Chains A and B, each alone.
Chain A
Amino acid sequence: MATKAYDKSFREEVYQNVDSGEDVKLCMQCGVCGITCPLRGEMTHGPRQLWALIRAGKRDEVMNSPDIMLCTSCYSCKVRCPRGVKVIDVMHGLAHYALEQGIVPRKETAKFGKVFWNSIYKTGRVDETEVPMRYTMMAGPVHGIFAMLEMMDIGRALLSHKRMKFKLGPGLPPSKKIKGIRGLKKMLDKAAAMSPGKEG
């Protein structure tokens, strides 16, 4: 088994730059977060081990771990953590930090997140037709069309229940914007500027 040398630079980096990163200090390795997570079967490390890796200074393993993008924000871990570690906040914080560093730990999540975010940023809402269309088309028009055909039954049902509007394609017709979209954009820009590691 390969030995891992402890290196303090990465944990200092996380404490300073990642949203709620200092919470990682407080983990007492009880494992409640990991066992609580509904996606524990999908995760390679789980929050507990990620925290241990952060403390050990394993930058590459942490930043490339798909786990930090698998979190669905169900809040089970955050609610149950006996040390009050804001597990979800750290997970999302790590994901953001990785993206900022040009690392994409899990492509699908990153893509979907981008489409989702764009929809909110541009129109102030999540358009149920637009977001999936754009997401599937990102892999190329052919792949996109096949992927959409696979989901046709769900689409039809949603249409018949008026849960979704009919569109010919992305932006056809364009989504309706909310009132005061400018104000929202301003708010989002300000918030982005305030995120950890961006101060000054």
Chain B
Amino acid sequence: MDKNQACYLCKGCGLGEALDFDNLEEVLGESGISEVKTHDALCSPDGVALIQGDVDGGVNAMLIGACSSRVKSDEFNFGSQVIVERASLREQVLYCSEAEYEGEEEAGEDRQMLAADYLRMSAVKLAKSNVPVPFKLELEPETALLVVGGGVAGINAALAAAKAGVQVFLVEKEAELGGFLVKMAKLAPESPPYQELEDTGLEELVAQVEADDKIKVYTGTTVDKTEGAPGNFTIALSGGDTLRCGAIVQATGWLPYEAEKLAEELAYGSNPGIITNVDMEAKAKAGDLGGLNGVAFIQCAGSRDQNHLPYCSAVCCTVSLKQAMMVKEANPEAAVYVIYKDIRTPGQSEEVYREAQRKGVVFIRRDEDYPKISESGGKLAIETKDMTLNDTVEIDELDMVVLATGLKPNNPKVVDAPLVALGMDQEAAKKLAAESKAQCDSWSVLNLQYRQGPNLPTLKYAYPDSHFICFPYETRRTGIYAAGAVRRPMRVSQAVEDATGAALKAIQAAHAAAEGVAVHPRSGDMSFPEFAMQRCTQCKRCTEECPFGAINEDEKANPLPNPTRCRRCGVCMGACPERIISFKNYSVDMIGSMIKSIDVPEEDEEKPRVIVLTCENDALPAIDLAARKGHKWSPYVRFIPVRCLGSINLVWIADALSSGIDGVMLFGCRHGDDYQCHFIKGSELANVRMSKISETLDRLVLESDRVRVEEISFNEVDRIPEIISEFMETIEEVGPNPYKGF
């Protein structure tokens, strides 16, 4: 494409008074943009009309020097064929700098230099940008949805998608639909006034599925193989059928925690009267609750216990309340006890707790130690600590003791070992965790033919989840969504909501694949990584490090990218030592050239230069907000937005330091177990790579203090000036970069 470039500078919001625009025009001229127009308020209808007029006249690449790219995005949108590059003169120059800075020969010169550098960088970026051409699948994109698992979540996902007009394939391994719902007698109250146990409603759900001609059901079937990418998945079913679908919802439910493991603590298996809540549900389903005069429920049986499941399954309390109410309904005279650590009744289930109390269920709070269960005269007895009475109490004459066991992810290979990390030798625990994780990852429902393994990657406790608040149902395999108890323990009503959400996300993913745009979090991004394969050395870093498993490999270890699986984070670009991966509007060369375009003053001017490679997702908005809040920082700092810290190629650091920049900072999201990285592993990878930067620095004979990684989340706006000034002090201590002027 032939670029017809122009630049528009805004004088509004105080920019006109603060900056010397003649000088800026000169700078732009040196950077190759001769067509420069200024306006008093570029975002006003008049200003927008000025630009639109030029666009109509043939301008197709423009630099707008005004406010942050995060604001006024509608005003400055001139269609997908016009490249718009925004230099944030307002937030990153005017708001964050003082009108006069210490050591200036002329008042405002530092601020002016700051603005000039941003325009230089933007001009380079504009020159190196191309209009992205969306990726098109070779075959006609498919939008049908595959739902794996015919339980309450699967059925609801299928129904929701069918309602939206999408063809659905529903695969269930059992002979009939329903999943765990088949085994359930009743549901705990789900609707006001939360006093009556409710029917499961399974028959109606199944009838709806059967009546829907958009849903094709495969019972007694499993998935042998899943190949391809969003928009073009090919599924081989165990029955021999092959399906093509655009996206997948995995709703394969949960497994009950094995009560056999509680034989020692809670005497499970020693007496037929000691059963689990799952057994209890079966009894209730069979109408087998008559004749019970004394029943005790033991909560947290193997839950919130470092030797078993360290987490709370969030449903067992409500289940026990329900089952206690069932016992009371069968025999109102029965003595029913619930022995608990804490009653956890999320949502409106507190009302269920009250109702169980009204029905006369007695609640006894215990401590961390499990109650002792014994047998006397054909009946069971429990001895437990009563925290309220601060005494040991005894409950006898019990016909049944129900252990409220928790939920595990539906993966028979899940070993509980990774959950036992606490209190162990940390090295041993890490090793154990890695082994168990590998074992768990080797098993799969979908059997993905992905280079990174057949299963959905798991997070904590072997649940295949993403950030639980920000991105529910997102797995780390694009186009595959997890719904229901497969991603975390949840109740039926929550699973229904989950299923609907996941189905809608899956439909969106299939459509995005068809249109060649990214899904969450860079929704609508048309760029995708392109590989200059002739220079590839088959080092496998990209295929290994992609957080979303987007890149497969052939036998010779050549990367085989699947652009519809890609989230456009650029982690592969950061990983590639040969720098052969680039996007139409984001590349190693582009950022490198931007860094080199910064004007570095001579050493004797005592004006150091620091660049901050800034994550666009959290850190950049935080900087904008800090500036808008009136925080000021050093005018020697230049921010360069990056898609993710994971996309940072080490060559940029070398470029910066060898061109005389005194220091480099990386602002990104928190990583680790409670990560906030929008691309899950990007921030962590950056950290690992930076830990190896010392090699580069040694080669350049530079101090390692010159490079620093900082974790910034959006709510840490007030920390930004502090971090910057601290780093500036460090730079002052280590002194100027000896490469200045070379």
Contacts and interface: CB of A to CB of B under 8 A. Distances in A.
A12 to B, nearest CB: 8
A56 B364 CA distance: 9
Contacts of B343: 28
B362 A55 contact: yes
B533 interface: no
Contact of A6 (B337, B354, B357, B358): B337
Interface residues of A, number: 22
A4 B364 CA distance: 13
Nearest to A5: B394
Nearest to B385: A1
B360 A49 contact: no
A23 to B, nearest CB: 10
Contacts of B396: 5-6
Contact of B358 (A3, A5, A25, A56): A25
A44 interface: no
B388 A29 contact: yes
A148 B364 CA distance: 49
Interface string A72-83: 000000000001
Given A3-B392, A5-B393, A26 B357 contact: yes
B492 to A, nearest CB: 25
Interface in B334-364: 335, 337, 343, 353-354, 357-358, 360, 362-364
Contacts of B335: 6, 8
B386 interface: yes
A122 interface: no
27 contacts: A1-B391, A1-B392, A4-B386, A4-B389, A4-B392, A5-B393, A5-B395, A6-B335, A6-B337, A6-B394, A6-B395, A15-B360, A25-B358, A25-B360, A26-B357, A26-B358, A28-B353, A28-B363, A29-B363, A49-B388, A49-B389, A52-B388, A53-B389, A55-B362, A55-B364, A56-B386, A56-B389
Contacts of A5: 393-396
Interface string A25-56: 11111000000000000000000110011011
A11 interface: yes
Nearest to B365: A29
A53 B388 CA distance: 9
Interface in B356-402: 357-358, 360, 362-365, 383, 386, 388-389, 391-396
Given A25-B360, A55-B362, A83-B354, A6 B388 contact: no
Report whether over half of chain B's contact residues are helix, strand or loop; otherwise say mixed. strand
Given A8-B335, A25-B360, 18 more contacts: A3-B391, A3-B393, A4-B386, A4-B391, A5-B394, A6-B337, A6-B394, A6-B395, A6-B396, A15-B360, A22-B358, A26-B357, A26-B358, A28-B343, A49-B388, A52-B386, A53-B389, A56-B386
Interface of B: 335, 337, 343, 353-354, 357-358, 360, 362-365, 383, 386, 388-389, 391-396
Contacts of B386: 4, 52, 56
Q: Majority SS of interface residues in chain A?
A: helix
Contacts of B357: 25-28
A49 B389 CA distance: 6
A83 B335 CA distance: 22
A26 B359 CA distance: 9
Contacts of A26: 354, 357-358
Contacts of B364: 55
A56 B396 CA distance: 12
Contacts of A52: 386, 388-389
Contacts of A55: 362, 364
A2 B388 CA distance: 15
Contacts of A25: 357-358, 360
Contacts of A28: 343, 353, 357, 363
Closest 4 CB pairs of A and B: A52-B388, A5-B394, A6-B395, A8-B335
Contact of B393 (A27, A48, A56): A56
A160 B644 CA distance: 86
A125 to B, nearest CB: 41
A48 to B, nearest CB: 6
Contacts of B358: 22, 25-26
A94 B363 CA distance: 21
A48 B390 CA distance: 12
A53 B337 CA distance: 14
A28 B363 CA distance: 8
B212 to A, nearest CB: 44
A1 B385 CA distance: 11
Nearest to A45: B389
Contacts of B363: 28-29
A2 B390 CA distance: 11
Contacts of B365: 29
B354 A4 contact: no
A117 B396 CA distance: 44
The residue among B358, B360, B388 with the most chain A CB atoms within 10 A of its own CB is B388
A177 to B, nearest CB: 45
Contacts of B388: 29, 48-49, 52
B507 to A, nearest CB: 43
A29 B363 CA distance: 9
A113 B383 CA distance: 41
B398 to A, nearest CB: 10
A26 B363 CA distance: 10
A14 B337 CA distance: 18
A11 B343 CA distance: 22
Contacts of B337: 6
A165 B389 CA distance: 49
A56 B178 CA distance: 42
Nearest to B358: A25
B393 A6 contact: yes
B511 to A, nearest CB: 48
A23 B353 CA distance: 14
Contacts of B353: 28
A58 B383 CA distance: 16
Nearest to B353: A28
Given A6-B395, A49-B389, A56-B389, A11 B354 contact: no
Nearest to A26: B357
B672 to A, nearest CB: 35
B389 A3 contact: no
Interface in A152-199: none
Contact of B394 (A3, A15, A48, A53): A3
B419 to A, nearest CB: 30
Contacts of A1: 391-392
Nearest to A53: B389
Nearest to A55: B362
A52 B388 CA distance: 7
B364 to A, nearest CB: 8
Nearest to B387: A29
A56 B392 CA distance: 11
A49 B386 CA distance: 11
Nearest to A15: B360
Nearest to A54: B362
